[in-house]
Structure 1
Amino acid sequence: MIITQSVSIPEIDKRTGEIVRGYIDTLTKPPGSLGRLEELAIKLAEITGQRFPTVTPPGVIVFAADHGITVEGVSAFPQEVTSQMVRNFLNGGAAINAFSRQIGAKLSIVDIGVASNIDHTGLVIKKIRYGTGNFCNEDAMSYSEAEQALEVGYTQGEGIIKQGVKCLILGEMGIGNTTTSSAILAALSGKDVRHIVGQGTGIPMERVLHKQHVIEKALYERKPNANNPIDLLSKVGGLEVAGMAGAMLAAAQHRIPILVDGFICTIAALIAKAISGQVSEYMIIGHRSVEPGHELAINLLGKSPLIDLGLRLGEGSGAAVAFPILQSATIMLKEMATFTSAGVSN
């Protein structure tokens, strides 16, 4: 299956959204007094086509992959931390594990391109290759590998949806992936790298300048085509970025809301949107990251984040923290009385 040719995403259901908008105005509260919760309820109705949508249980897929660009010294952590953190996920000790338990999420960890082998029964192994190439010197991956990574993501998204999840959260683990995501964003937006690149996992400012130079060199050498998302992924992309984008396409095809995490996940969302523009209608931005490029990426999607807590961890953690807000929007619809049913004067 070639995703770019086979995915057909339905239009959102504006009619059901209007019905829900009218119903919200009959609830026992002043019009508009629940603010963005009201708009969220309408958006969820449009996405699902249901007057009383549900978002539980949520599903979380964390895609893990390594990046050859780390040899350029762009990260505060060595590459082996990717596999070490995957083991932490599998042992239940990471932030996304804690937050997934908190919201009752089904959690799946997928090795789509870690540079080493991890032997654990809980790991879904769909490795395309052992990390990407150093895109300063060579393409990150082949065109075919980029397509394969999208298809793996799509298949994993479909699989967790078939388990009954009603909202999809995507996460990632990959040392070096803020560099990869910044390169994709610079190519997509045409903006100066200096306005995009941040400290990632916490590098000092002098290394931020080095990171900017690395990305500028890579974009000059690779010349990714901003109008071709597969070319972008193959030239300067990441396997986990492609995986998340593919899973987003699956969710939208099945009318499942996508709760988008931080910077790297939002770059995957832009890749998915470049493949099928309609997919962004199914996206809700969970939070605003402190990574400077995130604001630009959010604006390119035409969205507004639910929360801003100064987060920059990744893993899907910010989206999981924001998830109860979606629950509140659905509970408002299901459990609040109308003026008529409550015998309250309107």
Structure 2
Amino acid sequence: MDELKKLLSGIEEVNREVMNNSKNYIDHLSKPIGSLGVLEEIVVKLSGIKGEHIKEIKKKNIVIMCADNGIQESGVSSCPREVTATVTENFVKGTTGVCILSRYYNNDTTVVDIGVDKEFTDPRIINRKIRYGTSNMTKGPAMTREEAIKAIKIGIDIVKELKNQGYDLIGTGEMGVGNTATSAAIISVFSGIDSDLIVGKGSGLTDDGLSHKKAMVKKSIEINKPNKNDVIDVLSKVGGFDIAGLCGVFLGGAIYKVPVVIDGLISSAAAICAKELSSKASGYMFASHLSAEPGAQYAMKTLGLEPMFSLGMRLGEGSGCPIAFGIIESAVFTMNNMDSFNEAGIDKKDYIDIRKQ
């Protein structure tokens, strides 16, 4: 824990002076002030993260954390446990939804086995296995505090490695049968909202199955009594290795000054944990889409972020991130290629062309 505390202490606020300079530059482009809305906000925020007006995105990567969840044995999913391993293997084959979208939007993926109930031989699946899935949280804690901290540090280390490889925009994805149940529990604890309002059908439960899932999530919270003032306690009791790993990815983004994109419900739960560990971390996050899962709106409210789009998606895997990457890149390209008022022959005072700095 001491090492994690040291890393967290190094997180800095985004650079407000650079953000103000970036906004001033954008306000002097040949358009009505604010007329490109969120696209302008994206570039300003990116500049604050990078500490300079951002001119391009060079390399993009989605980190996909894969792990099994013990609560699956309590019937909270329509999928058998083995699906986690199968989809994990399909990620590196490039056949899943996030892989096809990534191919279209030209971003890479990093597949991490942080707790799948299978040994993999494919070297493209990075082995960071803590153990073969968490314990069933309806009977007690999902993991130990030490395991939760280890998972967080794995996520932080992955971001460090990716930054060293030249990636300057990261997305968050996951795979783990039962992880919409763990996510709902985490969001409920931190938001203070009844878990019944947050739990959704996930991979396609019947109405009866949904009722049972709600009961299991509520039971998990009641039995474990997670302390919302202690993030590690919450993660270890009602979380998953995938969520804890993604929490580390968000923290790594803040530590190493790399913007990180949230996908849907599961990565939102991880983002909440990261924000609770360091309030400064949210300055490095972008929300991609509003998931169709009922808990998504509560998660966004807890994070204080606005999603870029809403397409009724609920696949997970990080599938919202490639689309968000496209929006982010279009924003950067537009702000750096429009004429200023001066270039357009319109006099505007107090203009500084920071593209030339």
| 1:245 matched residue in structure 2 | 247
Q: Is the CA contact (8 Å cut-off) linking 1:4 and 1:275 kept in structure 2?
A: no
Q: Deviation above 3 Å: which 4+ runs of structure 1? A: none
| 1:61 matched residue in structure 2 | 63
Q: Name the SS of the counterpart of 2:343 in structure 1.
A: helix
| 1:4 matched residue in structure 2 | 5
| 1:174 matched residue in structure 2 | 176
| 1:46 matched residue in structure 2 | 48
Q: CA RMSD in A?
A: 1.3
- The one-letter code matched in structure 2 to 1:4 is K
1:29-86 deviations in whole A, cap 9, x for unaligned? 1222211111111111111111134333111110100001011111111110000001
2 CA distance for matches of 1:28 and 1:268?
40
Query: Is 1:256–2:258 an aligned residue pair?
Result: yes
Query: Is 1:203–2:205 an aligned residue pair?
Result: yes
- The one-letter code matched in structure 2 to 1:107 is T
Q: Is the CA contact (8 Å cut-off) linking 1:249 and 1:272 kept in structure 2?
A: yes
Matches within 5 A, 1:79-118: 79-118=81-120
- The one-letter code matched in structure 1 to 2:5 is T
Q: Is the CA contact (8 Å cut-off) linking 1:273 and 1:280 kept in structure 2?
A: yes
2 CA distance for matches of 1:305 and 1:28?
27
2 CA distance for matches of 1:238 and 1:149?
9
1 CA distance for matches of 2:255 and 2:87?
31
Q: Percent identity?
A: 38
| 2:354 matched residue in structure 1 | none
- Of 115, 120, 131, 2:133 maps to 131
- The one-letter code matched in structure 2 to 1:117 is E
1:82-125 deviations in whole A, cap 9, x for unaligned? 00001100111111111222222231100000011121121100
Q: Is the CA contact (8 Å cut-off) linking 1:54 and 1:166 kept in structure 2?
A: no
| 2:232 matched residue in structure 1 | 230
1 CA distance for matches of 2:311 and 2:266?
17
Q: Is the CA contact (8 Å cut-off) linking 2:196 and 2:218 kept in structure 1?
A: no
Query: What is the deviation of 1:343?
Result: 2.5
2 CA distance for matches of 1:157 and 1:340?
41
TM-score normalised by length of structure 2: 0.94
1:236-270 deviations in whole A, cap 9, x for unaligned? 11001000111111111121111111000000000
TM-score normalised by length of structure 1: 0.97
Q: Which runs of 5+ in 2 are unaligned?
A: 349-357
Q: How many residues align?
A: 346
Q: Name the SS of the counterpart of 1:289 in structure 2.
A: coil
- The one-letter code matched in structure 2 to 1:101 is R
Query: What is the deviation of 1:221?
Result: 0.8
Matches within 5 A, 1:16-27: 16-27=18-29
2 CA distance for matches of 1:173 and 1:288?
18
- The one-letter code matched in structure 1 to 2:66 is A
Q: Is the CA contact (8 Å cut-off) linking 1:2 and 1:151 kept in structure 2?
A: no
1:164-198 deviations in whole A, cap 9, x for unaligned? 11111010000000000111111112211111111
Q: Which runs of 5+ in 1 are unaligned?
A: none
- Deviates further, 1-10 or 194-203: 1-10
1:147-176 deviations in whole A, cap 9, x for unaligned? 111111111111111111111101000000
| 2:74 matched residue in structure 1 | 72
- Deviates further, 182-191 or 265-274: 182-191
| 1:332 matched residue in structure 2 | 334
1 CA distance for matches of 2:284 and 2:54?
17
Query: Is 1:286–2:291 an aligned residue pair?
Result: no
2 CA distance for matches of 1:218 and 1:276?
26
Q: Is the CA contact (8 Å cut-off) linking 2:7 and 2:255 kept in structure 1?
A: no
Q: Name the SS of the counterpart of 1:313 in structure 2.
A: coil
2 CA distance for matches of 1:290 and 1:267?
15
1 CA distance for matches of 2:35 and 2:258?
27
- The one-letter code matched in structure 2 to 1:246 is G
- The one-letter code matched in structure 1 to 2:285 is M
- Deviates further, 189-198 or 277-286: 189-198
Q: Name the SS of the counterpart of 1:308 in structure 2.
A: coil
Q: Name the SS of the counterpart of 1:112 in structure 2.
A: strand
